[in-house]
Amino acid sequence: METTYLTKMSIGSRKGSEGERILVEQHTGSEIISRAEEVIAKEVGQDLAAYAGLEEAAIRRNVGEDTVWGYVDKFGNKVEFNEDMKLRAAIAVLRLNGHTFEATPVK
């Protein structure tokens, strides 16, 4: 079962400004990741892995005629970009531009 999070996010003006409003909702981890991917695709042109400190790289093996792609860290080590890493990167993306974003697991 997927974890649900209570999220607090600022909308409108930047954090601490007079026009800032805080929206409190519940979202699944997948919904948070999906929203972050939309934001960076539209505004930054990068993928979520960049916010986890990872780079996409060809892994040195082929499956049939296809090269297998995966992620490597800054040291070149192959890394599985798992859901936990994606969620942490998504939260970092949603905090861009001085906005507030918090996600607390609902128990």
Residue 95 has what pLDDT? 87
Burial of 32 (0-12, 13-18, 19+ CB in 10 A): buried
DSSP 3-state of 102: strand
Q: How many domains are there within the chain?
A: 1
Percent share of the chain, pLDDT over 90: 34
- 25-77 pLDDT, tens digit each: 999 999 999 999 888 877 767 788 888 889 888 766 655 666 667 889 889 88
Residue 14 confidence (pLDDT): 59
Averaged over 69-93, what is the pLDDT? Answer: 89
Domain of residue 92 covers: 4-105
CA distance 53 to 74: 7
The pTM score is 0.75
From CA 88, how far away is CA 99, in angstroms rounded?
A: 16
What are the residues whose beta carbons fall under 8 Å from the beta carbon of 52, sequence distance 6 or more? Answer: 81, 85, 86, 88, 89
